[in-house]
Amino acid sequence: MQVLDLSEITLREANAALQNPTEGSNETAWEIVNARGSHAIAVGLDAPIDVQVRGSTGYYCAGMNAQATVRVDGNVGPGAGENMMSGALIVEGDASQYAGATGHGGLLVIKGNASSRCGISMKGIDIVVHGNVGHMSAFMAQKGHLVICGDAGDALGDSIYEAQLFVRGSVKSLGADCVEKEMRPEHLEKLAELLKAGECDAKPEEFKRYGSARELYNFNIDNAY
Amino acid sequence: MCGIVGLFLKDKALEPRLGEMLTDMLITMSDRGPDSAGIAVYGQDRDGLGKLTVQSSDPTGFDKLGGLSSAIGAEVSVRVVDTHAVLEMPEDKITQARAYLRENHPDIRVMSAGEVIEIYKEVGLPGDVAKRFDIPQLHGSHGIGHTRMATESAVTTLGAHPFSTGSDQCLVHNGSLSNHNALRRELRHQGVTVETENDTEVAAAYLTWRLQEGDTLGQALEAGLDDLDGFYTFVVGTKDGFGVLRDPIACKPAVMAETDQYVAFGSEYRALVNLPGIEDAKVWEPEPATVYFWRH
């Protein structure tokens, strides 16, 4: 285990060390201590390493991640896992707004609650939230899966494209063009896989599925002002 | 972008450290607002005495205050702190003193008035502002600080936060209001004066007006959800209270922490990391369109 102490080195030095691990090295386990809410911790990683962050982080933790698995044992600030390509970010606490925004791939797990705009414009990422999500989650979500084990706030999935949403609790309101859809066996199977990956013991049968009614895809003259 | 910090102490033993803790929080928020900074501190209540915090950009401005005592017929103590001065006088003479200053010394501006509140604000980096006013040595039961990155009005001392538009009241704001001109006109019709072109002052004046109309701070903030249009995270202070409100969109960040010793607010968690016992505090993000309010 290699330890990076943010009270001793700069954030830039810590991220540089994580972004350039020695090729072929067996040392793939890293620990970041004294996070103290710093921004942009473990961003831009592109190697199959494991990073454990001690404490809570500020903006953009593990942003643009590829391949790496980042675990945070506290809360994360706005934009956690933003534009993630692959790999995983696992948050033991809560996430602030727009977690997983624009993510292309990989897995984001939030074991507490996520705030507003979780998964906004997601493009292929899988997100598993053990608690609730705030308003405007999965806004313009294009691809990927958002699993919400608790409740969803207002306007879930507004203007959604082809992402799939699974909610176990209540939905305060659905956004434009987002509708409840039939849960077929292939969805239950996918959901079981996501819950397992997301370290969550909820049962797939307890969820409802939501997705696009596809009524915004084509111009409708009746919507013109 | 702006930075907000706030601290509402439950444990009296921490009161001598209020200024020091708030200064540390404020400096951490420098990169959210390097234009100007300000702080409101609620100090000790001294029976029958009230105070005005006034500001003058002319360093000799306070020399003119000699006539104030005879004008209001009561003793006035003057404590000059850099560009500000705290004038202590009998509480029932405050209105008279304000009228005297307005008429005779319009270049001396009132930052705050009340029984316990003192407001210090200036243009410059938060660390420099805190140093100029020796904020770390201030004692108090609660306080609010702001680091400003200006959007809606010029970078001036009077455009800095906190804004105080009523006795012992103050408000700081991260965001921008879009209906402040219309609301300013409306408040004028109600007899409420707004002194600057700043949007936040309108919000402060709006709350003051609601309180005058008999609302509690909680009710006034609820009403604000309907009447204030724009982006906002507000933190407000009253003589014995501390409130937080975010607009329904809630894109301006906010983190809160509570322990047996305090309730703390920060635009970011970074601002809270040096508080005692933060590791075990209840930490959460305040919900959109939800009024949070604590009282002593």
Under the banding of pLDDT at 50, 70 and 90, the label for residue A27 is confident
Residues B197 and B229 in one domain: yes
In the structure encoding, which two tokens stand for residue B97, read together?
A: 């003193």
Counted residue by residue, chain B has a size of 296
Q: In whole numbers, what is the pLDDT of chain A averaged over residues?
A: 96
Please indicate if any CB of chain B lies within 8 Å of the CB of A135. yes
Per-residue pLDDT of chain B in tens (296 residues, 90 and over written 9): 899 999 999 999 999 999 999 999 999 999 999 999 999 999 998 889 999 999 998 878 898 898 999 999 999 999 999 999 999 999 999 999 999 999 999 999 999 999 999 999 999 999 999 999 999 999 999 999 999 999 888 999 999 999 999 999 999 999 999 999 999 999 999 999 898 899 999 999 999 999 999 999 889 999 999 999 999 999 999 999 999 999 999 999 999 999 999 999 999 999 999 999 999 999 999 999 999 999 99
pLDDT of A158-186, one tens digit each? 999 999 999 999 999 999 999 999 999 99
Please report the residues numbered 208 through 267 in chain B whose beta carbons come closer than 8 angstroms to any beta carbon of chain A: 248-251, 253, 255
pTM over 0.80: yes
Total domains, chain B:
2
Among B115, B140, B160, residue at a domain's last position: B115
Touching check for A116 and chain B: CB below 8 Å? yes
Residues B176, B254, single domain; the answer is yes
Distance from CA of B155 to the nearest CA of A (A): 27
Q: Of the candidates B209, B163, B207, B172, which has an alpha carbon nearest to the alpha carbon of residue B188?
A: B209
| Whether residue B202 sits in one domain with residue B61 | no
Residues B149 and B231 in one domain: yes
CATH number, residue B107: 3.30.70.1150
Is B204 found in the same domain as B67? no
Q: Are residues B86 and B53 in the same domain?
A: yes
Per DSSP, what are the bridge partners of residue B121? Answer: B38
Contacts of A116 in chain B (CB under 8 A): 249-251, 288
Expressed as residue numbers, the domain containing B273 is: 3-45+125-295
β pairing state of B77-81 and B49-55: unpaired
Same domain, yes or no, for B97 and B60?
A: yes
Phi-psi region of B148 (alpha: psi -120 to 50; beta: other; left: phi over 0): beta
Among B74, B91, B115, identify where a domain stops: B115
Which residues have C-beta within 8 Å of that of residue B6, sequence separation ≥ 6?
Answer: B142, B143, B144, B145, B172, B235, B237, B242, B244, B264, B265, B266
Count other C-beta atoms under 10 Å from residue B195's C-beta.
12
Asked if the structure places residue B120 within a domain, the reply is no
Which pLDDT tens digit goes with each residue over A182-201? 999 999 999 999 999 999 99
Give the dihedral sign, CA B269/B275/B281/B287: negative
Chain A to chain B Cβ contacts (< 8 Å): 43
Identify the pLDDT of residue A199: 97
- The dihedrals phi and psi of B12, each to the nearest 5 degrees, come to -60, -25
Please tell me which of the candidates A36, A38, A94 has its beta carbon nearest to residue B285: A94
State the CB neighbour count (10 A cutoff) for residue A24. 5
By the 8 A CB rule, do A157 and A179 touch? no
B269:A97 CB<8 A: no
Kindly state whether residues B91 and B184 are assigned to the same domain: no
Establish if A97 touches chain B: CB-CB under 8 angstroms. Answer: yes
Catalytically active residues of B are 2
Query: Which chain B residue has the Cα nearest residue A116?
Result: B250
The reply to whether B28 and B169 lie within a common domain is yes
Task: Residue B31: give its domain's CATH number.
Answer: 3.60.20.10
CA dist A222 → A216, A225, B120 (Å): 12, 8, 57
Q: Considering only the top CATH level, what class is A37-216?
A: mainly beta
Within a 10 A sphere around the Cβ of A94, how many other Cβ atoms?
23
Which of B25, B28, B270, B282 should we substitute to test contact with A (largest number of A Cβ atoms within 10 Å)?
B270
* Position A24 pLDDT exceeds 80: no
Q: Are residues B287 and B240 in the same domain?
A: yes
**B146 and B8 share a domain?**
yes
